[in-house]
């Protein structure tokens, strides 16, 4: 087990390294000029020498390989450098201060979607073709189909614009979490409910369920101890896998709901050519996804005794 964990961590490290290299070079090759963005229209009044001095000050006139090694060198010491567009703010600080909002939003969304979707999918499978099953599945299809930016704006129009119940701007009280968490959870709920129903149905047809029933176990025990436990396996894999999607969902949701999180920081950094921050966030996201996947695999081992034996 320990060897397995170490191997997975090493693999994860390799992935993060490759992503860091690829990110750096894609960004270097890409168009756009951070100085232009930093100056705003100020560049109009500038001379060539002014621009050169500013590029020099921010290390942008160094050859690409020097920039890369200096970046990697700093990275090895845990320093992601500074943002040029944001006139010298350390990228570490920006990511550290943005991460909690994103993590909280996503955890709440995960919690909400799982607690609703898993039982809903389970009951839908148990009451297959019932009204309950059909309505859950119709709602789930809708949940998958609705784009989250649209759902977000509609919620704001309704709950802020029309009813005036919830604030649409700012992010400093529990009220600010309701709408973004709901929207983030909608798609996840839909995906998880459909999946849970599908795997439950599959599991319920297995021989060991028939065996359990024929042993005379109470249906409740059959369902909870034998069926659900096995049906949860793919769900956990998918939750781990989907966490990457949740993060990408944060890009849209955080922008719409003015949440000062990683998603918004990422989006604004791309549109403003803030390469240092883009690199930093890609790395941070990669790290998060890699870690989530490792944790998922370990959880798998905990839940499924067969995997543990291997």
Partner 1 sequence: MSRTEKFLEMLPFSAATTRREFLKRSVIMGAMIPAAGTLLTACGGDDDDGGDTGDGEATSPPAQTTRQSVPTSSSGGGGQATAAASPEATEAEADEEDAEASPTTAAAATEPASSDGEPVQGGTVIMMGHHEIASLSPDDDGPTVHWVMTTNIHNGMVELDSYYVLQPVLCESWEVNDDGTQFTFVLREGVMFHDGEAFTAEDVKYTFEYYGDPANASIAASNFLSIEYPIETPDDTTVVINLKNPNASFMAYTASQFIVPQHHHSEVGETGYKANPIGTGPFKVKDYDPASFCELEAFDDHFRGRPNLDILRENIVPEASVRKIALESGEADTSVWALLTEDNIALRDSGEFATYITSSVAVNHFPMNNERPFFQDKVVRQAMMHAIDRDQIVDELWQGLAVKATANLSPALEFYYEPDVKQYEYDPELAMSMLDEAGWVVGSDGVREKDGVKLSWTCLVITGDQARRPEAEVVQQWMLAIGLDMKIEEAPSTSTAMQKGEADMALYNWTYGGGSGEPDASNTLRSDALNNFSHYKSPEMDRLLDAGLAETDPDARKEVYSQVQKLVAEDVPFLYIKFWDWFVFFNKRVKGLPEEPQNTQYYNEAYKWWVDDQA
The two structure tokens encoding residue 177: 């979490």
Task: Name which of 51 and 116 has its Cβ closer to partner 1.
Answer: 51
Does 280 contact partner 1 by CB under 8 A?
no
Dist CA 109 CA 107 (whole Å): 5
Does 153 contact partner 1 by CB under 8 A?
yes
User: Which residues sit opposite 82 in a β-bridge?
Assistant: 90
Contacts of 122 (CB under 8 A, 6+ apart): 196, 197, 200, 223, 228, 231
Contact 203, 122 (CB under 8 A): no
Does 47 contact partner 1 by CB under 8 A?
yes
Name which position in 171, 294, 299, 301 contacts partner 1 (CB under 8 A): 171
Does 57 contact partner 1 by CB under 8 A?
yes
CA distances from 30 to 15, 45, 267, 273 (A): 22, 26, 16, 10
Buried b / exposed e across 105-117, counting CB within 10 Å, b at 16+?
bbebbbebbbeeb
Task: Name which of 89 and 296 has its Cβ closer to partner 1.
Answer: 89
Does 184 contact partner 1 by CB under 8 A?
no
Dist CA 30 CA 303 (whole Å): 45
Does 87 contact partner 1 by CB under 8 A?
yes
Does 174 contact partner 1 by CB under 8 A?
no
Does 284 contact partner 1 by CB under 8 A?
no
Name which position in 85, 105, 236, 281 contacts partner 1 (CB under 8 A): 85
Does 63 contact partner 1 by CB under 8 A?
no
CA distances from 182 to 112, 136, 162, 256 (A): 8, 17, 18, 13
CB of 139 to partner 1, least distance (A): 26
**Chain contacts with partner 1 (rule: CB under 8 A):** 30-33, 36-51, 53-54, 56-57, 83, 85-89, 94, 97-98, 153, 156-157, 160-161, 164, 167-171, 255-258, 260, 264-265, 267-268, 271-273
């Amino acid at each position: 087990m320990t060897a397995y964990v170490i191997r997975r961590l090493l693999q994860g490290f390799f992935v993060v390294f490759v992503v860091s290299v690829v990110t750096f070079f894609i960004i270097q090759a890409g168009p756009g000029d951070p100085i232009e963005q930093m100056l705003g229209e100020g560049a109009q009044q500038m001379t060539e020498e002014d621009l050169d001095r500013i590029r020099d000050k921010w290390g942008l006139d160094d050859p690409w390989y020097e920039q890369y090694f200096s970046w990697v060198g700093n990275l090895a010491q845990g320093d992601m450098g500074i943002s040029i567009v944001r006139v010298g703010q350390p990228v570490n600080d920006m990511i550290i201060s943005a991460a909690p909002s994103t993590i909280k939003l996503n955890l709440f969304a995960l919690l909400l979607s799982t607690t609703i979707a898993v039982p809903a999918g389970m009951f839908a499978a148990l009451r297959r073709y019932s009204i309950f099953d059909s309505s859950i599945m119709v709602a789930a299809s809708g949940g998958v189909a609705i784009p989250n930016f649209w759902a977000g704006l509609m919620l704001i129009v309704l709950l802020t614009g029309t009813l005036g119940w919830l604030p649409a701007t700012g992010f400093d009280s529990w009220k600010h979490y309701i709408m973004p968490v709901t929207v983030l959870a909608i798609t996840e709920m839909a995906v998880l409910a459909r999946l849970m129903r599908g795997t439950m149905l599959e599991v319920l047809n297995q021989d060991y369920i028939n065996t359990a029933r024929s042993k005379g176990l109470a249906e409740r025990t059959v369902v909870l101890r034998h069926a659900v436990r096995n049906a949860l396996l793919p769900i956990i894999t998918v939750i781990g896998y989907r966490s990457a999607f949740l993060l990408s969902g944060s890009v849209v949701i955080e922008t719409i709901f003015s949440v000062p999180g990683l998603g918004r920081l990422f989006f604004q950094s791309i549109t403003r050519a803030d390469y240092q921050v883009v690199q930093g966030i890609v790395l941070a996201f990669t790290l998060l996804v890699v870690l989530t996947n490792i944790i998922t695999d370990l959880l798998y081992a905990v839940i499924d005794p067969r995997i543990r034996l291997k």
